[in-house]
Amino acid sequence: MALLHQFKISNGQVTYKSRFLSSDSYQGNKEHNRITVSEFGTVTMPDPCKNVFQRFVSRFELPKPTDNGNVSFVNYKGDYYVSTETSLMHRVDPETLESTKKVDWSKFVAVNGATAHPHTEPDGTAYNMGNSYTSKGAYYNIIRVPPTKSTAEDTLEGATILCSIPSVDKTKPSYYHSFAMSENYVVFIEQPIKMNLLKIVTGKLRGKSIGDGFFWDPKLNTIFHLIHKQTGEVSSIKYLAKPLSTFHQINAYEENDFLILDMCASDDGQAIANFNIQNLRKSGEALDEVYNTLCRVFPRRFVLPLNVDHETPFNQNLNNRPDSAAISIRIAKNKVFCTHEDLHGEDLHLYGGLEFPQINYSKYNTKPYRYFYGCGFRHLVGDSLIKMDLHGNRMKVWEQPGVYPSEPVFVPSPNATEEDDGVVLSVVITPNKDKSTFLLVLDAKTFEELGRAMVPVSIPYGFHGTFNATT
């Protein structure tokens, strides 16, 4: 269940508080002392207090969306929400961590869910993506949320669907966890991790979780869709790549008639099964086998030519950027096949790849940039923090045996003049009961430790966080 955490740094002191999200899912589970709402990896079983006929009928009910916002804090119109990948979010008070309102995307726009990774413009305009399932098939919808509220109670009022893209397979749309955004485009990555909608809607009948309806199809190419943010027009050019899976993009920007797209990706889509409970319960050689067979995620760059027209030549590399090994070849009238270049050296392999990428978002999102930060993954969870320098693909590492850092959060220094002038924050946990969890503070430039704030309570491993500057 979603557990919200807060570290407050003020006047040289650090305080910590946490609170379970008071969601309907949490309240139902607590009241009945069992799982009452199916989620990605868990299926609710019929109420044992019901008679046999009632339990049988309940298996034919469609799964209800969970409001267990356990993925990320997100921001719309200056308010903070906790979100997962259904249509339901909770607006929360960042000071008390209390839920102030449950909000349903489907009351404002025609979507069945939305990602927990929106993008935000400098003026506060937010973009997100959500699926919609209709009698005509599945669609991917680009959502735009205005930057300001009209009333104090305003939540997602004014949200609109910028465009809808039909799934290549109407009954098996692609799964996506996030998307990319440049100055003028939203970039949707249609990857070969597919969702079998029939399996998902019949999961309760079959006693299977939602995750059982997901599968990896390595026979399919990856497709990059470009959507113009102002007009909602979908580019007629489809940019293809070999099968890959991606959960998080690093950055995207436009330069000299190219769109540069950086992401963390792997050639295998089995990552959705990494955290199955049978893996988490293993130890010794059995756990080593899981580690050794994990698909590894590495930072990659694709270069997409924007000015492709009837005069663009076929079967030759259109990427003329100096010192770039990425390849983009026009293979048909409206198709360009893209091959990535690595954004790392061989030394990153020693740390198992990189995930949870973060940049100096407020100043460099959608712009050319030099640095990004992430977690090294030699194990099922991150076990190191890494700073990547795109000038030479050099890296700096923070690690300590037996501890596991969360996603690094970059916080710029006041009046910073350089991209990496600031600090990196990460919550570091340990499975050793006699050792404390702590908030780690690193100098973002040198990647040297500046300090840590110890917390004398156990904190579970988490994924995404955000920094909220207040005065």
Its domain, for residue 143, covers 19-166
**457 three-state secondary structure:** coil
Q: What does the alpha-carbon distance between residue 28 and residue 235 come to, in Å, rounded to a whole number?
A: 45
Query: Within a 10 A sphere around the Cβ of 219, how many other Cβ atoms?
Result: 6
In a domain, residue 392? The reply is no
Residue 427: pLDDT band by 50, 70, 90 thresholds?
A: very high
Q: Is the pLDDT of residue 12 over 90?
A: no
Q: Does residue 146 lie within any of the structural domains?
A: yes
Distance, in Å, from the CA atom of 165 to the CA atom of 248, rounded to the nearest integer, reads 21
Given this model, what pLDDT does residue 50 score? 57
pLDDT at 256: 93
* Residue 224, both tokens: 């990059």
Q: Is 58 strand, coil or helix?
A: helix
Q: According to the model, what pLDDT value does residue 56 have?
A: 41
- CA dihedral (201, 206, 211, 216) positive or negative: negative
Tokens of 433: 């009961």
Task: Confirm whether 235 is domain-assigned.
Answer: no
- Range in 104-113, 222-231, 321-330, 452-461 the model is least confident about: 452-461
Percent of all residues in the chain with a pLDDT value above 90, rounded to a whole number: 72
Q: Which of 82-91, 175-184, 192-201, 279-288 has the lowest mean pLDDT?
A: 279-288
Length of the chain: 471
Q: What integer is the mean pLDDT of 359-387?
A: 94
| Tens of pLDDT, residues 114-144 | 999 999 999 999 999 999 988 888 999 999 9
Which has the minimum average pLDDT: 42-46, 114-118, 370-374?
42-46
Chain-centroid distance of CA 74 in Å reads 11
Q: Which two tokens stand for residue 121?
A: 């413009």
* 302-to-181, 278, 331, 438 alpha-carbon distances in Å: 14, 36, 16, 37
- Domain for residue 202, yes or no? no
Around Cβ 159, how many Cβ atoms within 10 Å? 20
Mean pLDDT of 363-376: 97
Cα–Cα distance measured from residue 86 to residue 219, given in angstroms and rounded to the nearest whole number: 28
How many angstroms separate the Cα of 223 from the Cα of each of 55, 144, 237, 357? 43, 22, 10, 22
Q: Are 113 and 200 in contact (CB under 8 A)?
A: no
User: What is residue 470's predicted lDDT score, i.e. its pLDDT?
Assistant: 67
Cα separation, 103 vs 24, in Å, equals 12
Give a yes or no: residue 389 inside a domain: no
Q: Considering the domain boundaries, does residue 119 fall inside one?
A: yes
Nearest to 59 by CA among 207, 240, 263, 249: 207
Name which residue leads in pLDDT, 407 or 212: 407
Confidence (pLDDT) at 346: 95
Report in angstroms the alpha-carbon separations of 198 from 137, 172, 204, 210, 461: 12, 9, 11, 11, 33
The answer as to whether 46 is a domain residue is yes
- The DSSP element (H or E) to which 362 belongs, if any, is helix 361-364
In this predicted structure, the answer to whether residue 393 has a pLDDT above a threshold of 50 is: yes
Total count of domains within the chain: 1
Q: Does residue 383 sit within a domain? A: no
